[in-house]
Structure formats: structure tokens, C-alpha cells
Amino acid sequence: MLRQVAAGVFVHQSELLQNNTVVVQGRDGVLLIDPGITGTEMVCLANDLREMGQTVVAGFATHPDWDHVLWHDEFGAAPRYGTARCAEFMRELRSDTDWKDRVTEGLPPECAEDIPLEPFGLIAGLPAGTARIPWDGPEIRIIEHPAHAEGHAALLIEDHRVLAAGDMLSDLFVPMLDLAADNPIEDYLTGLRLLAGAADDVDVVIPGHGSVGVGDQVRARIEQDLAYVTALRDARVPSDPRVGASVAPGWEWVNDIHEGQLHRLAEMR
């Protein structure tokens, strides 16, 4: 079900991982940001849009993680954008003859059969340095940064003061570093600094997973993520409600992400 979070901006949340699909109304239709995650949920979203009298005129993938490059035939053949690096990552993945098997191995088993793979990852890369989404709708600034994943970008819907943050600023997930990068901590801090630089223009933040943050929560989430990553950098134990005994029920496995990062960073040191 679509929920309005700002003028012309709606969120459709998945059940399993609380993925947030962001819907932005334009003049002739809507932009879909990170639609997902199951085929059933995407059909539901398409039906909701039809009931609103809206067609899909564009899509955007914030980064190349599997749950952010999904699509469904019910959305039509609109262009699906991403950064140049995001699109290149997906082209390389799909160039392998066994790419479907590799992707399927990483899908949650409880919903793997309900995730359409034919349109998976068919992203049109925007030229490097592109500052705004090319569409007939509200001005949307692209904030590309190196945090979390190759080719990651947040989108600032300027007129409506909404930040679609991709896999950052979640109230459920700790910051997830790109541990394949040469300097994952500094990369993540760079991303957070860029988001902090846009925070004065934001009233609503929509993370890739979890609840929408409003007002003072925008800065609070940036500061919480900065504290977590800084603690990792300094080899300190983070004091964070997303890990430890206070973690949200049903999300205890986020501790595994945290512990895995601690272990890998220790090896890298």
C-alpha cells in the first residue's frame, strides 16, 4: 500500500526486509526509486499506481545490490537509470552466462521464487557527473558517493525537501561498509559528509530499509551513523541501539552484520 510522506512523494514498503520503494509524481507519470522486492509486491504497487491514474515514466536504482535493481513488466518499459558505475557493475554481472544462478544463490530463500530476474539489473547509466534526473518532474539532485556500494547515490527531491538515501540512514540496519573497497571506513564517512551537507535542505529522509525519518530525525540519523563508523575506525565498541541487547525484535541478525564487519576490519588492520 502506498503511503504519502510529502507532497507528491509516496512510499511502498516490502514485508521481508522493509525495503522502501519511493514514488515521485511528475507531470506525465511517476519515477520509481528502488522498486521491490517480490513480484507480488511489485504487482501490488503497479495496481496502486493504476488506481491513482499514474503511469511509470522512469526508474532509478540507488546502487547495485540485488534488492535495489529489481523491476517488473507491470511497470512497463520506462528507462531505468543509475550512476555510470552502478550500470557498469550490473553489465559485468549479467555478462556471465551463469549470472542468474549467482544472483539466485544470494536471494532470501523464502521469496526467491517470487523475484523476477529477466528485468533484473537492466540499468541505463547516466554520464559521470550527471547532477539531476533527466525527467519531466520535480528537480531531483543526484548525490553520488562511495559509501556502502559501488556507484551508490542518494536522491534529493529538492522541491519537496525529501532525501531518498538508498542503503544509508536506516533505523534498522547499521552502516554496512563496502568491505571490498580499499578504504571502506573513509568511503563511508565521505558519503555521510555529503549527506550531512544536504541535510539543511531535507525535512524527510527515506532509507532503503526501515522507517521514514522526519524533522530532527534527519540530522539524528546522520549523527548516529557517523558515531557508529567512527567507532569502527577507532577500534571502539559502538554504542548503538541497532546492535546488542536493545536491537529491534526480529532484527537480531543485524548483530551478525556488525560482528562480521568488526572481524573483517580487524583482519584488514
Q: Give residue 245's pLDDT.
A: 67
pLDDT, one tens digit per residue, over 100-116 is 999 999 999 999 999 99
Say which amino acid occupies 22: V
pLDDT, one tens digit per residue, over 118-149 is 999 999 999 999 999 999 999 999 999 999 99
* DSSP string computed for 49-117: HHHTT--EEEEE-SS-SGGGS---GGG-S--EEEEHHHHHHHHHHHHSTTHHHHHHHTS-TTTGGGS--
Q: Give residue 21's pLDDT.
A: 98
- Cα distances from 35 to residues 1, 19, 47, 170, 239, in angstroms, run 13, 8, 14, 17, 32
Say which residue the cell 567512527 belongs to: 230
Would the pLDDT of 194 be above 90? yes
pLDDT, one tens digit per residue, over 205-219 is 999 999 999 999 999
Expressed as residue numbers, the domain containing 202 is 2-268
Local confidence band at 86 (pLDDT 50, 70, 90 cut-offs): very high
Would the pLDDT of 248 be above 80? no
CA–CA gap between residue 161 and residue 187 (Å, rounded): 25
CA–CA gap between residue 118 and residue 70 (Å, rounded): 9
Using an 8 Å Cβ cutoff, are 70 and 54 in contact? no
Residues in the chain: 269
Task: Give the SS3 label for residue 21.
Answer: strand
pTM: 0.96
If one counts the domains in the chain, the total is 1
- Cα distances from 81 to residues 72, 124, 132, 201, in angstroms, run 15, 5, 11, 24
Q: Give residue 250's pLDDT.
A: 80
How many percent of the chain have pLDDT more than 70? 99
pLDDT, one tens digit per residue, over 13-25 is 999 999 999 999 9
Would the pLDDT of 225 be above 70? yes
CATH code (residue 195) = 3.60.15.10
Mean pLDDT taken over the chain:
96
CA–CA gap between residue 202 and residue 218 (Å, rounded): 7
CA–CA gap between residue 155 and residue 167 (Å, rounded): 12
Grid coordinates belonging to 143 = 548525490
